Amino acid sequence: MKKLVLLLLFFSLATVYGQNPAIQLIPQPVEIQQSDGSFLLTKTATIGFDNQQSSKIAEMLSQKLNLSTGFSIKAQQGNVGSIQLNLNKVPVALIGKEGYTLVSSPNGVVITANAPAGLFYGMQTLLQLLPKEIESKTAVNVPWTIPSVKITDYPRFGWRGLMLDVSRNFFTKEEVKQYIDQLARYKFNTLHWHLTDDNGWRVEIKSLPKLTQIGAWRVARFGQFGERTAPKAGEAATVGGFYTQADIKEIIQYALDRNVTILPEIDVPGHSMSAIASYPELSCTKDTSTKVNPGSSFSEWYDNGTFKMKIDNTLNPSDEKVYVFLDKVFTELAALFPNPYIHVGGDECYKGFWTKDAGCQALMKKMNMTHPEELQAYFMKRVETILKSKGKKLIGWDEILEGGIAPEATVMSWRGIKGGIEAAKMGHDVVMTPTTFAYLDYQQGEQTIEPLIYADLRLSKCYSFNPVPEGVDSKYILGGQGNLWTEQVVTLHHAEYMTWPRGWALSEDFWSPNASKNWANFIQRVEKQFDRSDVEGVNYSTAIYDAIINIIGKAGKTTVSMDSEVPGLDIFYTIDGAMPNKYTPKYSKPVELPEGPVTLRVVTYRNGKQIGHLITLKPEELKKRQTKD
């Protein structure tokens, strides 16, 4: 009897954690029970909705289903749909504003929620329950079965974000919509839109036309960001673009229809070269030759984490004209964006030009300031007052803690989680977006084959992210966010490559209960999402299949250990100059390299087929990677 109970328990747990091969959802729902049978979606299916508020979602579902099935399934108000979308008359507290229940049986599917947002997420789950061909943009003929399940699902955090930097590289309106589409499917609800930086001002401000006439355009350059040649005198600025206010309204509505709110960011007082190129009088140096930066070198970074700007990219905090400027910008922005917050940056602000400026010195003296950090704090407090007068709340990068945080500010912790911990302990709200777990611009696999950038972050690390650090009151942690900076990302395809699958890991970090997270199980689901993305035509990285190579140098001996993020791959290697494949040595334990200029080549296989990229580490690279112990 005891054994039977245990066996039953095992099987029910197996279902809870999505072990059933037919059900592979991301993010993992809070609770899922599977039963026998399935619903077959046919051309006679209908979509019903019990409340007019749900009509848009029902319509969206009908369009999506009809595209890939070739059916003409209609959405109608009423109670008799084979796929029925219902709103609770009395809200169910457990599932909150964004949760839902989904019950499917051989008779059909019922999704129930307190609000349309929950129905939207129930619809996303339903689509993932259908065969992958549902992602096709042309009609396909497969049995459209939906397994019988009972799902109760709701998010762990209310802020589940991705940030897209459209300054370093401009993405068109259509591309931004595609990105929104993709993130909404994994139940992200916030797009943080990094609209301004040194490399381009992307939002039309009608009262300040030069911001987009001048600030949105830079000279054409290729190559590694930070190493490109500076603009030449008289050279035409032809690369860039911006969103008109009409474009912005359209994108905001597109996002809202997908339960995504857009958080606009105007990055000040640093990172402002595009604004200064347009209005040089806003800086201390007032250099009228300032150009929008095309990715040439304009800063120097030192080992202790400090830096120097070679070109002034900071607004002058002591000049009243700057606050008049910001008032105009935030007036128009506040009128455009329904999000209660405006992000005002605050990161990496170099104070070197401030300390040399007579106006800044006079202000410091007048305000009894002893340190230039206090100038930034003064600036941010002024900005907070402006935002408040427009009915908006201030959010900024964790540097806004330095020199004294504005009274009601929310902090985005990016330099690790320490800024977030500090802010939460002071009673400020926090969004966790640390480089250590959430930087989507970092390399996701072997350095020598991934597109070049200065740091790395593997999928498994993203997946291990818990936005609530120990000892912090979780009520201050609004949620988390992944950030895609685009210095090195110049196409939407590449943005997709950097975002997925790491964005899937983050979606689960932000949505699913922490206790249900399970790497081995997640990886299986990731592989299913790869198949779905293939049908959909969305790019992703397969770096998880590449070997992880660790070099240990000890007393003149070099030892190599190898591993892979996906469990169970076969790793083959050579040190004799040959190409590795299933006929060359298979890795089983650390390999000691012979003396001399060895080249290590590694490749991974699964079920007799190559699955990972070839990695070649030349003698110089092996030497560079040797550690002391």
CB of residue 322 to ligand TNX, shortest distance in Å: 21
Q: Which lies closer to ligand TNX via its Cβ, residue 135 or residue 265?
A: 265
Regarding beta strands 196-197 and 200-201, do their DSSP bridges make them parallel or antiparallel, or are they unpaired?
A: antiparallel
CB of residue 571 to ligand TNX, shortest distance in Å: 30
Q: Which lies closer to ligand TNX via its Cβ, residue 395 or residue 562?
A: 395
Is 197 a residue of the active site? yes
CA-closest candidate to residue 188, choices 23, 27, 304, 403: 27
DSSP state of 51: S
- Encoded tokens for 543: 């770096």
Buried/exposed 353-370: b ≥16 CB within 10 Å, e otherwise:
bbeebeebbebbeeeebe
Regarding beta strands 307-309 and 200-201, do their DSSP bridges make them parallel or antiparallel, or are they unpaired?
A: unpaired
Q: Which lies closer to ligand TNX via its Cβ, residue 153 or residue 487?
A: 487
C-beta separation of 480 from 159 below 8 A: yes
Q: How far apart are CA 46 and CA 74, in angstroms?
A: 6
Cα separations in angstroms, 74 against 49, 360, 416: 11, 65, 49
Q: How far apart are CA 241 and CA 167, in angstroms?
A: 9
Q: Which lies closer to ligand TNX via its Cβ, residue 192 or residue 532?
A: 192
C-beta separation of 266 from 205 below 8 A: no
CB of residue 506 to ligand TNX, shortest distance in Å: 16
Any idea what the Cα angle at residue 52 is, between residues 47 and 58, rounded to 5°? Answer: 30
Q: Which lies closer to ligand TNX via its Cβ, residue 397 or residue 605?
A: 397
Q: How far apart are CA 501 and CA 515, in angstroms?
A: 21
Q: How far apart are CA 183 and CA 160, in angstroms?
A: 10
- Residues numbered 223 to 282 that lie near ligand TNX (CB under 6 A) are none
Amino acid identity at 230: A
Q: Which lies closer to ligand TNX via its Cβ, residue 146 or residue 400?
A: 400
Element at 363 (helix H, strand E): helix 358-366
CB of residue 495 to ligand TNX, shortest distance in Å: 14
Cα separations in angstroms, 246 against 164, 190, 509: 20, 20, 34
Q: Which residue in 397, 497, 504, 522 binds ligand TNX (CB under 6 A)? A: 397
The yes or no reply on residue 573 touching ligand TNX (CB under 6 A) is no
Q: Which long-range contacts (CB under 8 A, 24 or more apart) does 4-13 make?
A: none
Task: Kindly determine how many residues on this chain lie close enough to bind ligand TNX according to the rule CB under 6 A.
Answer: 8
Q: What strand order describes the sheet that includes 591-593?
A: 547-554, 557-564, 591-593
Q: How far apart are CA 114 and CA 90, in angstroms?
A: 8
> Out of 165, 197, 267, 446, which one is annotated catalytic?
197
CB of residue 482 to ligand TNX, shortest distance in Å: 12
Q: Which residue in 204, 441, 446, 546 binds ligand TNX (CB under 6 A)? A: 441
> Out of 50, 59, 257, 348, which one is annotated catalytic?
348
Q: How many residues does the chain have?
A: 629
Q: How far apart are CA 359 and CA 351, in angstroms?
A: 13
DSSP state of 586: B
CB of residue 450 to ligand TNX, shortest distance in Å: 14
Q: Which residue in 476, 485, 530, 587 binds ligand TNX (CB under 6 A)? A: 485
CA-closest candidate to residue 194, choices 347, 336, 373: 347
Q: Which residue in 31, 247, 257, 348 binds ligand TNX (CB under 6 A)? A: 348
- Encoded tokens for 86: 């219902």
Regarding beta strands 47-49 and 83-87, do their DSSP bridges make them parallel or antiparallel, or are they unpaired?
A: parallel
Q: Which residue in 257, 347, 422, 531 binds ligand TNX (CB under 6 A)? A: 347
CB of residue 135 to ligand TNX, shortest distance in Å: 31
CB of residue 524 to ligand TNX, shortest distance in Å: 31
Phi, psi of 561 (to 5 degrees): -110, 150
Number of C-alpha atoms within 13 angstroms, CB side, residue 608? 0
Phi, psi of 593 (to 5 degrees): -85, 140
Q: Which lies closer to ligand TNX via its Cβ, residue 491 or residue 514?
A: 491
> Out of 192, 271, 428, 613, which one is annotated catalytic?
271
Q: Which lies closer to ligand TNX via its Cβ, residue 353 or residue 485?
A: 485
Q: Which lies closer to ligand TNX via its Cβ, residue 126 or residue 453?
A: 453
Cα separations in angstroms, 404 against 303, 409, 417: 26, 11, 18
In order, the DSSP letters of 210-247 are HHHHTTTEE----SSTTSBPPPPTT----EE--B-HHH
Is 271 a residue of the active site? yes
Q: Which residue in 100, 414, 465, 573 binds ligand TNX (CB under 6 A)? A: 414
CB of residue 393 to ligand TNX, shortest distance in Å: 18
Q: Which lies closer to ligand TNX via its Cβ, residue 54 or residue 272?
A: 272
CB of residue 156 to ligand TNX, shortest distance in Å: 24
Name the residues that contact ligand TNX, by CB under 6 A.
Answer: 347-348, 397, 414, 439, 441, 485, 487
Catalytically active residues are 197, 271, 348
